[in-house]
Structure 1
Amino acid sequence: MKSTTRGTLAAVLTCVAAAAGAAVCASPASAVGTVPVPVPLDGVEKSLNVELPTIGGEIPLPTPGAPEGPRFVEGRLIPERVVPQLPVAAGLPGLGVRAPLPEVLGDRFNHVGLDAPASDLRTLGPGLVLDAPLTAPNPDHFGLPDLKLPEAGVITPVLQAVPGADLGVDRGL
């Protein structure tokens, strides 16, 4: 094999390996919908010679959904939900903290921990409902519409979440 062929083959294999590694690294974050965010305190810990807490978090990735389109209703000139509600699925940020605990509570407890995992959050944006001040064509009035009061309304937004947290003390760090 020529050296240029070997170099090209090596470059292609390197690119394939990098793409496969990126796909493996990116799949857990995209599957869960959160991105882990560690807080590096190792440098401060070593420079001050002190045990510091271990802190990490999770940032949710919002994913917009498909809105329901307008629905045509018999007897109305303008369809329902002129401005549809936009669903967005995301999550509340998560937090994990483990801090060293001096043996104040006895020799069995060496750390205190707080774990608040990212929880699902479902939202639905506000929508708008309108109706014209005219009815459908009336055959009794030679096909002319009747007058009526105009209608306007706002569909309220929806927010649903079930957050949770766990606080505890335990052995070790």
Structure 2
Amino acid sequence: MDELPAPAVVVLVGAAGSGKTTLRGRLVAGGLDPGTVISLDDLRCEARALDAKAGRPVRPLQDYSFSAVRRAARRCDALLAFGAGYLSDATQLRRRERVPHVRAAAEAGLPSVALLLPALSLDELLARDAARPPDEHVPADVLARHAHRRSLLRPGLLRDEGFDVVREVP
């Protein structure tokens, strides 16, 4: 990836299994502060681990989504309050998931960046999902929706939503 503005609000946009977390790892290896990464998957895992530690029954990871989204929003707000910016590692396949990041960046005086992951076929997403640990599998119907939603996205659409920088990730 070319140099990204820093600080900035960086939003990864792509289906489950399209390489968002791999890209995040590369960006962190390249110098991005891991403390500025907000990952719904990581927050779901943290919530499940807290249930296990407290002796409560653990649920499938997707059952922790509501609390993960709330915790992510609080972390994003806290980072912006310090002018740090953040990287959001989530699918962001719906406009209603992306636009709040654009608005938050503008309010904080930071650039907003969308990194658009490749539109992969459902077969490719299913194959990649099969390689994940069993407790991290994404249901096939969810992957089908992700593949469809991603197929509708183009850089110009993200620019029209207000992103300052839009880059397609090969």
**Does the alignment reach a TM-score above 0.5?**
no
TM-score of the aligned structures, taking structure 2 as reference length: 0.21
Structure with bigger gyration radius? 1
TM-score of the aligned structures, taking structure 1 as reference length: 0.20
The structure with more strand, counted as a fraction of residues: 1
